Structure formats: structure tokens, C-alpha cells
Chain A
């Protein structure tokens, strides 16, 4: 197990390094520098600004200097918000996005998991078809469609819930969390159903039933662990997807989270912010994937040997 973890950690390093490098050079290629403004800036002023932010050095030197800063945990100053560092901004956005992601993941896992298990107990009956069709709708309705629809119905027409903000009005965290979590609830429902179905057809379950154990015990104590394995393995990619989804949800609901910061930074050519957010988010994703793989491997020893087979992550 330890070897597995070490191996995966080592694998993560080139990935993160690749992310940093690619993003760094990609961002520099972009047209539109961070110091363009409406009333034309005097060339001397522009040069001074660029010198301060090290933009006048050759590209490779900038890259190395940046790596050095990163090693000390410094993401640099924000270009768009002078006087504030990227670290501060990431911190502020992170708290919000993390909370949003957590609620969404909870909703997804609980609702999805329960629905899938429920459906798997009586396959090919209405108990199965109804949740699975709902799940299919959840998969087919993108977040950027579901969000506005929920806002339209619950916020505007029924006026039950607030439509913007995060933490300002009680209840304003509900709609965004649901919008973000719905698609994942759907995936998890399908995964848990498939997993449970597979496990429930195994011999040891039949044995347990033959022994006369009550169905609830059969399901909860024996089937659940194996059946939910695909769900656990999915948590890693789910997290990455949630982050992507947060771009949209944060934009629709005007939530000051990391996703929205990222998109705005990209549009504003705020180099350091883009770099910082990308590196940070990517590292998080890689670590989360690792965590999810380790968890899955601890539940199913067979996975420890399947580093890179044709298996789904």
C-alpha cells in the first residue's frame, strides 16, 4: 500500500510541472498585456510597470524566477488588483468554492447514492426506471441550463429562494449547490446502481440471504462496500468536474469563488492570477484524484496493481 501511494505521488510531480510550464508559456503568448488601458499609457510609464513585474526579462528567465517563487509558496502579485497578492485572492475565492463544492458533492453523493441503491434493489421495475430516468435527465441537462431554470422557477416565479449571492441572504446557498450537484447526483446514481447490481448477483450475497439474514443487513453490511466502489473511484474525476462546473454556477449566481476568478483572470490577462489559479486548482485535482485512487485501492486490493490498464479511473 505504501509503495502504491509513493508511486502515485511520484507520478503526480511531472503532471504538476507540466501544468505549470504549459500554462506559463500559453499565457504569455496571449495578445493583450495586463497594462493596456483606455486612455493610452505613456511608454515610459508602461516600461516602468513592466520592469516592476519582471515582464521585461527574457521569457525563460521569468519562468525560472516564477518557479523559484512557487517553491516558496508565493504566487506573486495580482496584475489586475494592484496591491493584492494572488495568494490572498486565491484564499478568498477558495473558501467560497470549497464550500460550494462540498455542498454539491454531499448532495450528489447522498441523493445519487441512495437513488442508485434504491433502484438496484428491484431492477427493471418502476422503482428502477423512475430514478434512472431522472438521473438521465440530470446528466443531459447541463449545469448552465439547470441553473437558470432553477432560478426562473424557484427564484423568479415562485420567489421561494434568493437568486444571487453567497452568505448574504439566508438560503442563497441552496440553488447554486443543487445546480452544481445535480449532474453528479445523476452520475453517482447510475454508478451506484451498476455497482450494487453487480455485487448483489455475487455468490456471497446469495449465501448471506440463504443464511436468512434480513435484507437490510444484506444490503447495508455486505453489499454496500463492494457496490459503492465505483462511486468512490469516481470521486476524483467528480471533483475535477465540480471545479469546472463551478465556473458556470459562480457566474450565473454571482458567487465570488475561485472558478469565477479564474475565468475573469483569463479574460483580463492577469498573468499571475491565471497561473496561480491554474497551478493551484490543478494540484488540488491531482491530489484529490490520488486520494480517491488510494481510497478505492484500500477498498479493493485488486486495483493496486492496475496502474495503467484499460481500467476506467
Chain B
């Protein structure tokens, strides 16, 4: 919208579905990938989330201090059906059922209901959803008593490491059963030992690609920061941590639209 005071920018957080890779039927990476391929993130973002989020295809938010995550797939129901058939559930036959759990909140419910139907429509599989109270939900996640669970992760500092170290072997917040020695090696040793930022990011990229090839999580969207900022306010660029450093702000009374540059 022209001249709108609404400012939306990516935020350092990702909303995703955790997948328990030790449970049937999602112990098969083809099934997991099929599920990831049939979440129509663009439509979700546009309709259910009313355009207030950015579709995500990986765990790390884009442009995390110059780091961009790999995108291994897109919305592809055809490929998903092929994979599902290959995994032994052609057109949903023999599908044992799957349950998505989420902590009780209206927005989580909306997404779960939409995703449940997307999977049903595209893959002809039965999926149930269940909301759990916060405490119960946490318990389910930490004891890995779930098949698919809604999850969100907000970064504490602007660096991809913050997100990638979630999936180390035995990490307290892993909860997927994903473990790979090469991944651990990259994150724990090789990346920190890199001498340049490019090298470090390349290691991250390699690790994240490995991770998403296995699809132990189904990324859904990147959080956003949303504000209404009057055009006369200058010096408040959007940033991933959504820090509002008001001491650097000044007012340019002549500025009436965000298209004009700010003058001091």
C-alpha cells in the first residue's frame, strides 16, 4: 500500500513443525519430505496469516547477518505423491495416521487445521490435530511423545549458529532424533575454526543443507516484526532482533512518505 505507515520486516525467529524421526510413519525421510512438500506456505502466509509472515524453507531466517539458508524444495504435491508412494503409501493407502500437537493458541490451531487439510487434499492421508496445555505440550516434546509437534525458535543473537546448534546430537532442544556426526563436526569444530566469514558461512550452509535433506523439521514461516511508523520518524531501520534503538532516532518533519530519503 502506498504511503502506508505499516512496516513489516523479517524477525529472528522461525515457526516450524518438529518431526519425530524415530516414529512411524515419519521415520522414513521420503515421508517427511513429502509432508514438507505439500505445505502450501505461500497460501498460508497470504490467507491464514494475513500476509504478516514470510514463508520459510529452512531453519535459519534469511539474511542473518548476511547468511542465507539453502532452499532445497518448494511446494510440489506431484513430487510429494511420488515420494509417498515410493515410501509404501501410494495415494495414502496403508497410512497409519499421524497427529500434530500444538500448544493451545488460536494461531497455532489455525495453521494446524489448514495444514491438516492440505495434507489430506494433496496426499489423501488422515491427520488429526490435538491441542495441549503448555505444560503438557512441553512434556510431550521433551520426552519425544509426539509424531509432529508445532515449534518455534526465536534467536538469542544474530547468528546462524543460534539456530543450527539446535540439531546437535542429544541437544536439549533437538527433540527430533536427528543426529549426524558430520553435522556436529561442522557446527562444533569446523565452523568456529573458520578464518573468514565466507568460510564459516559455507560450513553453515553445508550443515544446513545436510539437515534439510533429512527434513527432520518442516519449516513453515519466518516471524516478522510489525510496526506502524510515521514517515517523519528517521533512523529506525528494521532489524532482525527488532531492537528499537530510540536514542538514534530523529524526526524529519518534511518527510511525508517512506519513498523520500531521510534528511538530518
* Chains A and B touch (C-beta atoms under 8 A apart): yes
Q: At the interface, yes or no: B142 with Cβ under 8 Å from chain A? A: yes
B247 located at the interface, meaning its Cβ lies under 8 Å from any Cβ of chain A in the complex: no
Name the B residues within 8 Å of A40 (CB-CB).
Answer: 142, 172-173
CA–CA, A38 and B138, complex, Å: 6
A36 touches B138 (CB 8 A): yes
Chain A residues in 8 Å Cβ range of B104: 267
- Report chain B residues within 8 Å CB of A226: none
CB proximity of A50 to chain B, nearest CB, Å: 14
Task: Report yes or no: B172 in contact with A268, Cβ–Cβ below 8 A.
Answer: no
Interface status of A31 (Cβ within 8 A of chain B) = yes
Of the candidate stretches B29-37, B73-81, B129-137, B231-239, the one touching chain A is B129-137
Once the chains bind, are A32 and B173 in contact (CB under 8 Å)? no
Give the total of A residues in contact with B, Cβ under 8 Å.
12
Q: Which residues of B contact A267 (CB under 8 A)?
A: 104, 133-135
B139 on the A face (CB < 8 A): yes
Number of interface residues of B (CB under 8 A): 10
Check if B139 sits within 8 Å of A33, measured CB to CB: yes
Bound-complex Cα distance A147 to B126 (A): 36
A32 and B133 in contact, given A37-B138, A38-B138, A40-B142 (Cβ under 8 angstroms):
yes
| Nearest B residue to A80, CB-CB | B135
Candidates B135, B142, B172, B173; contact of A269 at CB < 8 Å: B135
For A33, the chain B residues whose CB sits under 8 A away are: 135, 139
From B139, B142, B173, contact of A31 by CB (8 A): B139
Q: Is A157 an interface residue (CB 8 A)?
A: no
Which A residues touch B173, using CB under 8 A? 39-40
Contact A268 B133 (CB under 8 A): yes
A131 in the interface (beta carbon within 8 A): no
Complex partner residue of B172 from A32, A34, A39, CB under 8 angstroms? A39
Report the nearest A residue to B151, measured CB to CB.
A38
Q: How far is the CB of B152 from chain A (nearest CB, A)?
A: 10
In the assembled complex, how far is the CB of residue B136 from the closest CB belonging to chain A, in whole angstroms? Answer: 4
Query: Contacts of A32 on B, CB cut-off 8 Å?
Result: 133, 135-136, 138-139
* Contact call B136/A31, Cβ cutoff below 8 A: yes
A33-B139 Cα distance, complex, nearest whole Å? 8
A36 touches B135 (CB 8 A): yes
**Set of chain A residues within 8 Å of B138, measured between Cβ atoms:** 32, 36-38
Could you give 27 example pairs across A and B, Cβ below 8 Å? Answer: A31-B136, A31-B139, A32-B133, A32-B136, A32-B138, A32-B139, A33-B135, A33-B139, A34-B135, A36-B135, A36-B138, A36-B139, A37-B138, A38-B138, A39-B172, A39-B173, A40-B172, A40-B173, A267-B133, A267-B134, A267-B135, A268-B133, A268-B134, A268-B135, A269-B133, A269-B135, A269-B136
Contacts beyond the supplied A267-B133, A268-B135: 4 A-B pairs with Cβ under 8 Å: A31-B136, A39-B172, A267-B104, A267-B134
Question: Which residues of A come within 8 Å of B, CB atoms?
Answer: 31-34, 36-40, 267-269
